[in-house]
Amino acid sequence: MSAASALPRSGDRSDDVVAVRADGPPPVRRVRRNPVTWVRRGGLSTLVFALPVLVVFGVFSWWPIVRSVVMSFQKTNLVAPATWVGWDNFQYVLTDPDLPTAIRNTLYFALLALVIGFPIPLVAAVLMSSVKRLKGLYSVLAYLPVVVPPVVAVLLWKFFYDGSADGVFNTILGWVGLGPYAWLSSPTLAMPSLVVEATWAAAGGTVIIYLAALIGVPGELYDAAEVDGAGIWRKVWHVTMPQLRGVLFITFILQIIGTVQVFLEPYLFTGGGPANATLTILLMIYNYAFGRSLGGDYGAATALSVMLAAFLAILSLIYFKLTSSWSKS
Amino acid sequence: MKSPRITLAFTLVGALALGGTLAACSSDSGSGDGDKNTPSATAAPTLDPNTKVTLNVVGLLPGSTKEAQQALADEVTEFQNQYPNITVQTHDYEWKATTFAADLAGGTLPTVFEIPFTDAKTLIANQQISDMQGYVNQLSYASDFNKNLLQYGQGPDGDVYAIPAKSIYAVGLHYNRDLFTKAGLDPDKPPTTWDEVRTDAKAIADKTGQAGFAQMSQSGTGGWQLTVDTYARGGRVESEDGKTATLTNDATKASLQFLQDLRWTDNSMGQNFNYDWAGINQAFAAGKIGMYTSGQDVYTALVQANNIDPETYGLTMIPLEGDNSGVLGGGTMAAVSSKATDDEKAAAIKWIDFHYLRKYTNEQAAVTNAKTQVASKQPVGTPELPIFSQAQYEKYQGWIKPYVNVPLDQMTGFTSKIFDAKLVNEPATATQDVYAALDPVVQAVLTKKDADIDKLLADANTKAQRAIDSAGR
């Protein structure tokens, strides 16, 4: 049967449903779309309900993305008319001597955030889900840092990280004979210091996600494991982790995307210093656009943004491709 | 015989004039021929007294004291009494290279805002500030401005866009007299050479536990101050035509070697190496820093935002060594947003006149302003450099003399010697980029013991040259 024969004939009464194949596997029945059936089946009301979201996304997300891509091929100061410059902005960014440093630092931040920041919320959630009393209190305590405004949190931690001997952390470490450490003024300690604060600030949100996922783990699985003689760690490894796999995949990629786009901490803590030790890609983008009082190189900023977005999109695709095959296996 | 302060004023205006000519010939925007054009003689619309206008203006530094806020509120009240149809709303403001462009692009700057001399030409070229020539013409002293300062704010058409307003500065060495005393040093004999600065810094660090000397390093201030240090040792960071970065010069190397010695050999710079302008002021006012370099006018900010104890404050000359040594100078201009309406511009010129300029040209205004400041315990008489003529500045000094409340006798190390110094402008091309390229160099020297000064400067020079080459890219 040819594809053409599957097309509905004019005057066919059964215009709602068309048999795609008459032989072979069970026939696939496809809904034939026309404006009348679309309206009758609630398409219009769906569109009306979706319209506000589409407008908001269009205006505040998709349009800026399109504009960014366009701007990456332009020279503009947002006042005078823009001029097309082809690939100049990309060439300018790719030959920036600071770019390798920024990429290295960003990957270092992402790696540290994974090593420090990924296991902590998971362990905390598992422990919190096993306690019987004051579970709510622990949840509140875990989530509290998330409700502290990020700028306030950074300023607070900046105070903690005071490099003098009477700084908060240095005082505490001094009680056990350690320090003082320069923290934010040390090229080696600055980045780990930022990651510790970022983990503190963000872990609460992830803990809540894990706790919610843990509620969905059937209790019978733990009972069965217990009958089989499993201890707490075997239960975690053989029951909890597999059950959380889907959530873990999502939080993992979200964390990668989030940490590669780190900006707030290096901007507020160190401004990218000392000696570019915390210069990240996002900070470079900001510096291109706004770092110079005399206005921004918005073309270079958007060119780097586009490249970063493309990299993350490709990374996400590869990741989901891999994890979907793992999930099936 | 002229008083030292009058001589100071005369000399510095002359020096700015020389530097200003150079800057005008090599600014980013290439609009150095502004002087050749004739300003527009067209009269701008005047403000109808019956038209209500709300004018947003920059106010004090964030975190200023209640007294400073009260003084400004009183000033606003006086202004509104005089112009009942204008409502002035002040906004806390601190110009920072790393936030100004974002504020400007985001439209969050007030209608009247402040910019450094070095930025005006490019903002004019980018059409980001209003042509104020017609409104400036309405001022009775419009023709009395020091033309060499005024040219910084003139466009290619010769019109005035940005108006010299305040903080015409030369960099000085600020020191804490209390820490000097505690370290066994004579606060009336501050250091006059870089070697003495080093010796005194070590004495302060050893005997008080505080930083003997501190250096800004963040948000372009590291490069700004390294340029100051370079000038003071006879070097320059750009060629005269502004087309070549010259960061690898001996004076810059010597400046960095000085910092390296203080930091790693003497351990006399404390533990904080992340200071920006506001941060170092705060630490200095809190008694954590023995000496640092910044504009000579910073005393006002130290009082308004940091509540410094006047008894502890001292100001002296930055040491000058080498044939071509000089003191870096600059200043602040008032500008009006390009989005301002005609009514807002007409109101803006009245505020600029009232808030910034009138006191220098009108005795009653000078006295009223001084009284307002004194009533709120705000500094009157902080050393500054004249916006108008030397004679006019002399008159102004006479008008406010009874109200001067700043410890001028603790600043004579600066005011008595600055007239012998050459004042040198900031680098003319890609100024903020050159400073930004130098920030990591200063930070590296202060945070890495094995920092290779030659390599750091070579890398920074490459970045600065790239910025110069692509200025206006």
- Would you call A77 an interface residue with chain B, using a CB distance cutoff of 8 Å? yes
Q: Is residue B26 classed as helix, strand or coil in its secondary structure?
A: coil
Q: pLDDT > 70: what percent of chain A? A: 88
Q: Which of A75, A92, A191, A294 is the mutation pick for testing B, counting most B CBs within 10 A?
A: A294
Complex-level ipTM beyond the 0.85 threshold:
no
Distance CA(A70)–CA(A72), nearest Å, equals 5
Which of A271-280, B64-73, B104-113, B462-471 is most confident? A271-280
Query: Is B260:B448 a contact under the CB 8 Å cutoff?
Result: no
Closest residue of chain A to B125, computed from CA coordinates = A80
Query: Is B433:A292 a contact under the CB 8 Å cutoff?
Result: yes
Q: What is the mean pLDDT of residues B106-133?
A: 88
Enclosing H/E stretch for B24: helix B4-25
CB spacing of B439 vs A273 below 8 angstroms:
yes
Per-residue pLDDT tens digits for B2-21: 343 333 443 444 444 434 33
- Give the residues across from B56 on adjacent strands: B89
Instruction: Tell me phi and psi for residue B315, to 5 degrees.
Output: -135, 130
CB spacing of A289 vs B98 below 8 angstroms:
no
- Give the residues across from B291 on adjacent strands: B175, B213
Distance CA(B25)–CA(B31), nearest Å, equals 8
- Would you call A185 an interface residue with chain B, using a CB distance cutoff of 8 Å? yes
CB spacing of A271 vs B440 below 8 angstroms:
no
B217 CB neighbours in chain A (<8 A) are: 273-274
Query: Is B433:B335 a contact under the CB 8 Å cutoff?
Result: no
Distance CA(A30)–CA(A10), nearest Å, equals 17
B99 CB neighbours in chain A (<8 A) are: 290
Q: pLDDT > 90: what percent of chain B? A: 58
Q: Which residue has the higher pLDDT, B376 or A148?
A: A148
- Would you call A64 an interface residue with chain B, using a CB distance cutoff of 8 Å? no
Query: Is A162:A218 a contact under the CB 8 Å cutoff?
Result: no
Query: Is B288:B209 a contact under the CB 8 Å cutoff?
Result: no
Per-residue pLDDT tens digits for B44-81: 778 888 889 999 999 988 888 888 888 899 999 999 99
Enclosing H/E stretch for A315: helix A298-328
Residues B269, B275, B281, CA angle at the centre, nearest 5°? 95
CB spacing of B446 vs A79 below 8 angstroms:
no
- Give the residues across from B90 on adjacent strands: B57
- Estimate the crossing angle of helix B431-447 against helix B221-232, to 10 degrees: 90
CB spacing of A294 vs B105 below 8 angstroms:
no
Q: pLDDT > 70: what percent of chain B? A: 90
Q: What is the mean pLDDT of residues A95-108?
A: 94
CB spacing of B447 vs A163 below 8 angstroms:
no
Q: Comparing C-alpha atoms, which of B145, B153, B142, B144 is closest to residue B117?
A: B153
Contacts of B307 (CB under 8 A, 6+ apart): B65, B285
Distance CA(A65)–CA(A59), nearest Å, equals 10
Amino acid at A211: L
Q: Comparing C-alpha atoms, which of B431, B277, B305, B336 is closest to residue B109?
A: B336
Facing residue for A293 by CB, picked from B432, B440, B443: B432
- Residue A198: C-alpha distances to residues A172, A192, A271, B48, B272 (Å): 21, 10, 16, 55, 22
Per-residue pLDDT tens digits for B145-187: 888 788 889 998 899 999 999 878 889 999 999 999 999 999 9
Distance CA(A147)–CA(A202), nearest Å, equals 10
Burial code (b: 16+ CB inside 10 Å, e: under 16) for B189-226 equals ebbbebeebbbbbbbbbeebebbbbbbbbbbbbbbbbb
Q: How far is A173 from chain B (nearest CA, A)?
A: 16
Q: Which two tokens stand for residue A308?
A: 């970063």
Q: Which residue has the higher pLDDT, A242 or A285?
A: A285
Per-residue pLDDT tens digits for B322-374: 889 999 988 899 999 988 999 999 999 999 999 999 999 899 989 988 998 88
- What's the pLDDT at B242? 87
Q: How far is A165 from chain B (nearest CA, A)?
A: 8
Q: Comparing C-alpha atoms, which of B232, B281, B258, B256 is closest to residue B418?
A: B232
- Would you call A268 an interface residue with chain B, using a CB distance cutoff of 8 Å? no
- Residue B406: C-alpha distances to residues A157, B207, B377 (Å): 36, 29, 10
The pTM for the full model equals: 0.78
Q: How far is B473 from chain A (nearest CA, A)?
A: 8
